[in-house]
Amino acid sequence: MLPVIAFPAIDPVAIAIGPIAIRWYALAYIAGIVLGWRYLIWHAARYRLGLSRKDIDDVLVWVTLGVILGGRLGYVLFYQPGYYADHPLEALYLWKGGMSFHGGLVGVIVALVWFARVRKVALLTLTDGIACATPIGLLFGRIANFINGELFGRASEAPWAMVFPGGGPLARHPSQLYEAAAEGLILFVALLWLARSAEVRARAGALTGAFLVGYALARIAVEFFREPDAHLGFLLAGATMGQLLSLPVLAFGAVLIARARPRAA
């Protein structure tokens, strides 16, 4: 039997003061939002997107609401509709259950479309900037999943496999770290590199499409190493829910890239 790595048991509570507990998961969300906001300020100034500081500050609130409301609703509808149909009030318990990236993505799209209409800013200019900042949040979120010991991978004999609490006695892929690397770090660097091209930046929606395609491909690939949700298992043709939900994201991103047109002067 090959030796396995013990899961580095990290207390999910980062700071506790009496009855008040601040979890790493919450800190990850805060760090992702704040650093994404700071990056968007830099990106908009460097590439002259025509977004004011007030626009950027205000859109942060809209995006945050889109992530939380869309992410929770997506989890309820995509992953456990039967359970929440029987326990509808628990859909409001954000501290109990999960969040769906794909639901959060829909929530953010709705928020940005609405924001662009209210503020009369170019929608695809706005989404191109947001898309470049989003991998920062994904990076921190996946690291928080790892700290919580959740969303672990499939059984593996890889030398870096580890035994997760709640994952049984088998060593498993640390798939959360794979996602942090692929959806977070690698995708962020790729978009940073693409954004340096004046030709790419000139085509409204190209960076948004590149983010969607990059995320979908990364998620589909990593799902081959991630243990599917126990209550769902494998679905159509052995695919997981994460892979199936990523297919329309991939298609939409490809359409945006194909239809990207130069920005109006």
107 and 73 Cβ atoms separated by less than 8 Å = yes
Percentage of the chain exceeding pLDDT 90: 60
Contacts of 189 (CB under 8 A, 6+ apart): none
Residue type, 65: L
Give the relative orientation of helices 53-78 and 101-119 as an angle to the nearest 10 degrees.
140
The sign of the CA dihedral 24, 29, 34, 39 is positive
pLDDT at 49: 86
- CA 113 vs. chain centroid, Å, equals 19
Q: Which residues of the chain have pLDDT under 70?
A: 1-4, 94-97, 263-265
Domain ranges of the chain: 124-262
Q: Which two tokens stand for residue 31?
A: 């760090």
pTM for the full predicted model: 0.89
Residue 27 to residue 15: CA distance in whole angstroms? 10
- Tens digit of each residue's pLDDT (9 = 90 or more) over 51-79: 889 999 999 999 999 988 888 888 888 88
- Tens digit of each residue's pLDDT (9 = 90 or more) over 173-218: 999 999 999 999 999 999 999 999 999 999 999 999 999 999 999 9
Residue 2 to residue 92: CA distance in whole angstroms? 44
223 and 243 Cβ atoms separated by less than 8 Å = yes
